[in-house]
Structure 1
C-alpha cells in the first residue's frame, strides 16, 4: 500500500489516480528470441492489483496485443477491481492503409477493450505523430477521439509527448499537435537520468502541462532499471567511454547509497520519490516484473524526501547526466518494448513526423 502523503492526483477531468501505477513497457514484456514468462508477469500484475494499483499503462503494440490480453486476464479474475487502463493507438497497422486511416482508431479501441474485458479506457493515447501526407488523417482522428470520449468509451485523450532526448523538431511538432488535439493527458518518459524536457521559454513539460490543466503519465521512472541497480549496455565509438559512463553511474548510485542506504528498496524510494516530486500533476508507471519486484515498489515509498535530500539527489543525477553526454559516446542502450526495440540515452530516435 502507498503511504498517506501520496494522495491521488488529478490526471484528467474526473480522473483521480494514485501516483504509482504499473506498465508493460519493459524488456520483461519483450518477446526477444521467445515468449515472455507469462506466469511471472501475471503474478506481478496480481500483486499490483492486490497492492491497490489504480492504473495499468499498456499499448496495443506491446507484443502485438498480447500484453493487453494478459492484463485483461487479471482484470477478469478480479471482477470487483477498481483498476483502470491506458493504452495507445497509431503504431499497429493491421490491414488498413495507415494506422489512423478511416475508422481504424475506433476499430482498434474495440479490439483493445475486448482484450481487456473493459467497457472504457481511462486514457487512449495517440502514439505516433505520422498522420499521413499533409496530416490528412489528423482532423478525422481528433473528431473520432472526441466522439469516443463523449460516448464514454474513453475518459481522456492522450498524446505522446517529448522526453529529455527529443530533438527541437520533435518538440515543435508536439506543440503543434497539442494545440490541434487539446489532449487531456500527455505520456512521456522521465527519470533522474532523463529529465522532463524544456518545451520552450525555460518551461519544462511538467510546468507546461500543469499550466494547461493537463495531466502527465510518466513511464520509465527507473531508467529501465538502471536506477534500481541494473547494468546498462553501452554502444560507443570508443570502448573506454563506455567504461567512463558506467563508472559515473556506479559512483552516483554509491553516493546515494551512502546517504539513503544500500538496499534495493532505498534505491527505488529515491528514484520514485524524486520523479514524483518533479511534477505534481503526474503519475508514474513502473514496469511490471515478478511478484517480488512489484511488491517492492509498493513497500519502498515510506516517507517523503526532504528539501536537502532532493537537492543532493538532483546534484548526483546532474553529475551522472553530464558524464553520459561525453562527446565521444554515441548511445547508452537499455532493452525495452519500444517499437525500436530499445530505450536509448542520450539520443532517442524520434517518432516519424510526416506532414
Structure 2
C-alpha cells in the first residue's frame, strides 16, 4: 500500500527493487488491493513479478470503495466480486490469485453470498484460497460454512489486540491463519516520530497520532525503545518479533517501500523473545494501553462486522 502513495511519495524503481529483494530473500507474501490508488499497486506488482510469478504468493483484497475523500462504502455483492477479480488478474498479469480477500464485511449483503461468489472463483481456478478481513467471529463462522477460509487479515500489534478476546480463539478453532497488518501501528512503534507535526500524511487524521494521545503513546514507545536496546534490535524489530511470537499460525505484513527497511523487518524473525521478555513487554504495553482508537470514529463501524 505504501508503494502507491499511502504514506507520501514513493519511487517506482525503488519499490520494484524492494519487491524483488523480498522474493530473493524468500519472503513471498505480497499483499495488495484493487483499490490501492485505483489499481496502481497491482500494476506495480505485476511489473515486479514479471518472469517470477512462481516465486510470489499474491494476496489481493477487494470490496472497499474509495474516493478522493477516503474510504467509502463496502461492496460485497457477488457481481462486484466477479467483476473486480478480472480487473485484478489483468493488472497483475497473472491467471490466478493465491489469496482473495474481502477487505470488509458488507452489512447489506449476507456474508454467505459474498463468500459463495468467491468460492465460484476457486472452482474456476481463478483463485486458490479465500480470505476475510476485519470480520467478526460470527461472520467468520457463517463464511466458513460456505467454503473453507484460509486466512483472516486484521490489524494486530502491541497496540491493537482486540482480536485476542473472541476473534483469535474462533479462527484457531476453525483452523484459519492470521495475517496481521500494521504490526508497527503505521510506523508509530518504529520510534521515528517525536511530535504530531512529524506526520505529513493521512495518519495525521488518526486518533493515536493526535494531541494528548500522541504524547501518551510516545511514552510507551520510549519504554519499548529501552527494551529493544536490551535485545540489541530496533523498536520495529521488537514489535514484529512480538507478533510472530504469538503463534505459528500468525504471519505479519509490515509495509515498506525501501530495501533498507525490508531487510530490517525480515531480520526480526531471528529475534528470540524469551518468556521473561514477553512478560516485560506485557508489563509495559498491556492490551488496551494505546491511547485513541486505530481509525477515526466514522470508520470504526466497518470493523468487527
Provide structure 1 residue ranges, at least 5 long, that are not aligned to the other structure.
Answer: 1-23, 163-169, 326-330, 333-342
Correspondence for 1:21:
none
Distance 1:138 1:268, change over 3 A: closer
Task: Identify which of structures 1 and 2 has the higher relative contact order when contacts are C-alpha pairs closer than 8 Å and 6+ apart.
Answer: 1
- Of residues 79, 97, 109, the one that matches 2:52 is 79
* Contact 1:206 1:278 survives alignment (8 Å): no
More helix by share: 2
Q: Does 1:119 align with 2:101?
A: no
Change (3 A) 1:347 1:277: farther
Tell me which residue corresponds to 1:153.
126
1:270-315 CA distances to partner (integer Å, 9 max, x unpaired)?
2122111213212111102211111222234324222212221222
Q: Secondary structure at the match of 2:300?
A: coil
2:75 corresponds to 1:109 = no
Q: Deviations over 1:79-126 (max 9, x none)?
A: 3641110111211489xx983445321221111111112221111111
TM-score, normalization by structure 2: 0.80
User: Is the 8 Å Cα contact of residues 241 and 268 (structure 2) preserved in structure 1?
Assistant: no
Q: Distance in 2 between matches of 1:80 and 1:127?
A: 23
Task: Evaluate the alpha carbon distance shift between residue 345 and residue 143 of structure 1 in structure 2; reply closer, same or farther with a 3 A threshold.
Answer: closer
Following the alignment from structure 2 to structure 1, what is the Cα–Cα distance between the partners of residues 66 and 113? 17
Does the 8 Å CA contact 1:199/1:208 hold for their aligned counterparts? no
Given that 2:131 and 2:152 are in contact with CA atoms closer than 8 Å, whether structure 1 keeps it comes out as: yes
Contact 2:76 2:105 in 1 (8 A): no
The 8 Å contact of residues 98 and 127 in structure 2, kept in 1 or not, is answered as yes
Which of 37, 45, 56 is residue 19 of structure 2 equivalent to? 45
Structure 2: how far apart are the matches of 1:131 and 1:241? 31
Residue aligning to 2:38: 64
Map 1:296-315 onto structure 2 (within 5 A).
Answer: 296-315=264-283
Inter-CA distance 240–60: structure 2 relative to 1 (3 Å threshold): closer
Asked if 1:184 corresponds to 2:150, the answer is yes
**TM-score with structure 1 length normalisation?**
0.70
Residues 174, 30 of structure 1: CA spacing in aligned structure 2 closer, same or farther, 3 A cutoff? Answer: farther
In the other structure, the counterpart of 1:193 is 159
In structure 2, stretches of 5+ residues that fail to align are 68-72, 197-205
RMSD over equivalenced CA pairs, Å: 3.3
Retained in 2: the 8 A contact 1:185–1:216?
yes
Inter-partner Cα distance in structure 1 for 2:137 and 2:45: 32
SS in 1 for 2:131: strand
Distance, in Å, in 2 between the alignment partners of 1:175 and 1:226 is: 33
Hey, what does 2:105 align to over in structure 1?
Answer: 129
Alignment CA distance shift 1:62-1:209 (3 Å): same
- Provide, for residues 15-41 of structure 1, a one-character-per-residue CA deviation record: whole Å limited to 9, x for no partner: xxxxxxxxx3x4x53357x85322222
Choose 265-274 or 49-58, whichever is displaced more: 265-274
Q: Report the 3-state secondary structure (helix = DSSP H, G, I; strand = E; otherwise coil) of the residue aligned with 2:269.
A: coil
Q: Distance in 1 between matches of 2:11 and 2:142?
A: 41
Instruction: Give, in angstroms, the shift of residue 131 of structure 1.
Output: 5.2
**What is the DSSP-based 3-state SS (H/G/I as helix, E as strand, rest coil) of the residue aligned with 1:114?**
helix
> What is the count of residue pairs matched by the alignment?
289
